[in-house]
Amino acid sequence: MIGRLNHVAIAVPDLDRAARLYRDTLGARVSAPVPMPAHGVTTVFVELPNTKIELLHPLGAGSPIQGYLDRNPAGGIHHVCYEVPDILVARDRLKEAGMRVLGDGEPRIGAHDKPVLFLHPKDFCGTLVEIEQA
């Protein structure tokens, strides 16, 4: 059912430092910071040949990654995102299998203007999983 790894999202306490690390030390292609108020994050996109890394920093009050950074002050892997061909088919199949879909279970438009859903980390080996319709 799942296809390509779309991205790995890493929550970081210092976005400039993280961007420099990926650009200067690791030699990756790195975007300018992109504020995404609707998602409560500022994102730096790191383009790799086979996938992306998204560096996430809280934006505004009530950011969905603030709690994670409070628990992990040095930052850490926040979620992984897998592509699926049809998000509603994927959701229904996962729910039938007893997996928990976060929120109201309806896809919302993610950072790439495509429908996404998040799956409960306790159902997926302790990892927050995002699925995105490719």
Residues that bind Co ion (CB under 5 A): 9, 81, 130
Catalytic residues: 130
Of the two residues 24 and 60, which places its CB atom closer to Co ion in the complex?
A: 60
Burial 68-79 (b: 16+ CB within 10 A, else e): bbeeeeebeebb
Shortest gap between Cβ of 130 and Co ion (angstroms)?
Answer: 5
Of the two residues 81 and 87, which places its CB atom closer to Co ion in the complex?
A: 81
Of the two residues 98 and 126, which places its CB atom closer to Co ion in the complex?
A: 126
Shortest gap between Cβ of 35 and Co ion (angstroms)?
Answer: 16
Q: Are strands 52-58 and 41-47 parallel, antiparallel or unpaired?
A: antiparallel
Contact of 19 with 44, CB cutoff 8 Å = yes
CA 62 from centre of chain: 17
